[in-house]
Amino acid sequence: MLGRFRRLRCSRAVAANLMGPVDACSFALPYLKKTHGSIVFISGLAGLHGLAKGVIYSASKMALTARAQGLRAELSPFDVHVGVLFLGFTRNDPDKLFYRPDGTLGPITRPFRYHLTQEMVAREVLKLIRFRRRAHELSPLGLGMRLLSRISPRVHFGFECLSTHSGLHRMSTEDKVNGERGHQ
């Protein structure tokens, strides 16, 4: 049962976080090629680095990042701009739900003090298009992750290993149910 639930959740995450944006953009490609327009994919910090408590989500966001990189190469002869905006926490609609590790739906419960508003994100999308940037991180943590991986990938990987094996890593509820460590 749990394996089937994981596959269902995985296919839903891929459908929402990867295939939805990819399908929507494919319909606009002929127009974008003619007008030298822009495509902006919205991702999260999970698109930069896998998250232990969100492995499926991270995989789908990383796949979106890879798709953006590939699409950028494919569309460069047509001068079509492809960018990715990596968000931190954003304020969601109050009625938005997510799947909990036990498979039930529930509200997103996070403190709002560091959340980006939808208006802030919209302004950043416009800046990404105006300056035709490839990527932009909208949180200090995302910027730090990006810089650390560029400067020294070994240090970035070493920090991940240290936090995973030193006890700093916390097992998620899903991992406790499965009897696995959170790092997959």
- Summarize pLDDT for 10-27 with one digit per residue, the tens: 888 888 889 999 999 999
Q: What element of type H or E holds 42?
A: strand 38-44
Average pLDDT over residues 74-90: 92
Please report the pLDDT score of residue 81 as a whole number.
97
Token pair for 8: 């269902």
CATH (residue range 2-139): 3.40.50.720
Q: Is the pLDDT of residue 69 over 90?
A: yes
Average pLDDT over residues 85-89: 85
Token pair for 66: 């890879």
Please report the pLDDT score of residue 42 as a whole number.
92
- pLDDT grade for 96, boundaries at 50, 70 and 90: confident
Residue 76 or 58, more confident? 76
Overall pTM > 0.75: no
DSSP state of 19: I
Token pair for 71: 């699409």
Q: Both ends of the chain: CA-CA distance in Å?
A: 20
Q: Look at residue 110 and give its three-state secondary structure.
A: coil
Average pLDDT over residues 104-118: 72
Token pair for 128: 């990404």
Q: Is the pLDDT of residue 174 over 70?
A: no
As a whole number, the mean pLDDT across the chain is: 76
Q: With CA atoms as reference, report the closest residue to 40 among 85, 90, 78.
A: 85
What is the rounded CA–CA span in Å between residue 63 and residue 101? 22
- pLDDT grade for 85, boundaries at 50, 70 and 90: very high
Average pLDDT over residues 116-141: 89
Residue 164 or 53, more confident? 53
Of all residues in the chain, what percent carry a pLDDT higher than 90? 35
Given a contact cutoff of 8 angstroms between Cβ atoms, the answer to whether 137 and 48 are in contact is yes
Please report the pLDDT score of residue 99 as a whole number.
67
